[in-house]
Amino acid sequence: MKPNSKHYIIARILEFCIGVYFLVGALPKGMDIDKFAVQIAAYKVISAPNLLFYAAIFTLFVEVALGIALILGLRLKGLTILIMQAMIVVFSVLILYAWWRYGLEDCGCFPFFKMSPQVSLIKNIFLIGLGVYIVWVFHNKENGIKSGQYKVWTYGIAKFVVAVLLGTAAAAYAYQDIDWKVFDTPNSDGTQISFKQFDDLYLPEGYFNLGEGVYLVAIMSMTCDECMANVPRLNDLMLVPELPPLVALCYEDHPGDMELFRGYTEPAFPMHSLGDQAVLYYSLIGKDSFRLSLVNNGTAVKSWDGHVPEYTEILQNMSDLTVP
């Protein structure tokens, strides 16, 4: 086979199209890195909030750099396709794990529309097959397309630099768009996020200052099934007069999600919207999408992840508080 053979032309077109696919999938992630971090969190492999965003940024860099490399035809003796195949295999394993373990519904591979695990896995198998074909065409001993036979080192280095620079630029853009100050821990022990930032909440149910006094604070996402399932238990806590006021801090992926959540679950407690501030939401929760915290003067002294405890357990923790 020669550079102008049918197999060569087909392989080059496929290589270019796969590169465009990676770019089209990566750029929306860079434009809304918060939402991409939310999609990564759905896999429940990474729980630390700041690590979620580092993982999102690294994935963005790899996808952009890889997409550019494929578009430019940077093959590195098959290494580019090998990296692509390895990335697809890793993603497929993660999708299978999250699908089987947690019922993952959207793999987050393509931000323009929801892609189920089944569709994503079929797509990944197809991409792996195309990658094998591309490697066979460009690195078959009979095709004469060996880098050692051509003086292409200068072009190869230039392509590599362009791919890395554009990948870095996309990652840098996403990085500066993240409000990293949210992850600062002002408390002396360095282990708790302060709730003092919620010191001026005017809600229909009244005025609340989470920076002073004792509160129960529920942190939840408005599209989270786990959060919806915990609403009846939270409503039950409202019937216990010995407990402190309960306020929910609510992450909305889209405007209006909180109102839909209200309609589905009928919460009896005050709810404050965090908007779409994913960084803030993930700085407040733990390994689960739902967290209930006992807050004393802006500091969470006890938290329960994924469930609402019995009111007696909450009262026991309250008895240990020293309220000035």
Element (H, E) at 153: helix 153-176
User: Are residues 27 and 145 located together in one domain of the fold?
Assistant: yes
User: Residues 21, 120: contact at Cβ < 8 Å?
Assistant: no
Give me the half-sphere count of Cα atoms (radius 13 Å) on the Cβ side of residue 122: 4
Q: Is residue 193 part of a domain?
A: no
Range of the domain at 77: 6-178
Question: For residue 301, is it within any domain?
Answer: yes
186-232 confidence digits (pLDDT tens)? 443 444 567 888 988 999 999 999 989 999 999 999 988 889 999 99
294 lies in the same domain as 154: no
Instruction: Please indicate, yes or no, if residue 189 is contained in any of the structural domains.
Output: no
Who wins on pLDDT, 76 or 208?
208
Is there a single domain that holds both residue 267 and residue 309? yes
How many CA atoms lie less than 13 Å away from 118 in the CB half-sphere? 0
What is the pLDDT at residue 184? 57
* pLDDT at residue 7, as a whole number: 84
Instruction: Among 124, 145, 178, identify where a domain stops.
Output: 178
Q: What's the pLDDT at 144? A: 45
Return the closest-CA partner of residue 73 out of 4, 2, 136, 134. Answer: 134
The strand pairing partners of 291, in sequence order, are: 219, 305
Same domain membership, residue 42 and residue 162: yes
Q: Write down the pTM of the prediction.
A: 0.74
DSSP, res 221: E
Tens of pLDDT, residue by residue over 229-269, are: 999 999 999 999 999 999 999 999 888 999 999 999 999 99
Q: With pLDDT > 90 as the criterion, what percentage of the chain qualifies?
A: 52
Q: Do residue 168 and residue 218 come from a single domain?
A: no
Co-location of 28 and 151 in the same domain: yes
Whether residue 47 is contained in a domain is answered as: yes
Residues in the chain: 324
| CATH number of 248's domain | 3.40.30.10
Is 192 a domain residue? Answer: no
Asked whether residue 185 is domain-assigned, the answer is no
Domain co-membership, 170 together with 222: no
The structural domain count of the chain equals 2
Q: Do 125 and 39 belong to one domain?
A: yes
| Domain match, 146 and 43 both | yes
Residue 171 above 70 pLDDT?
yes
Give how far Cα 216 sits from Cα of 153, 164, 209, 219, 321, Å: 63, 47, 12, 10, 13
The answer on 141 and 20 residing in a single domain is yes
Say how many C-beta atoms besides its own lie within 10 A of residue 148's C-beta: 7
Quick one: which H or E segment has residue 303? strand 299-305
Tell me if 186 is assigned to some domain: no
Task: Categorize the per-residue pLDDT at 52 as very low, low, confident or very high, splitting at 50, 70 and 90.
Answer: confident
3-class DSSP assignment, residue 218:
strand
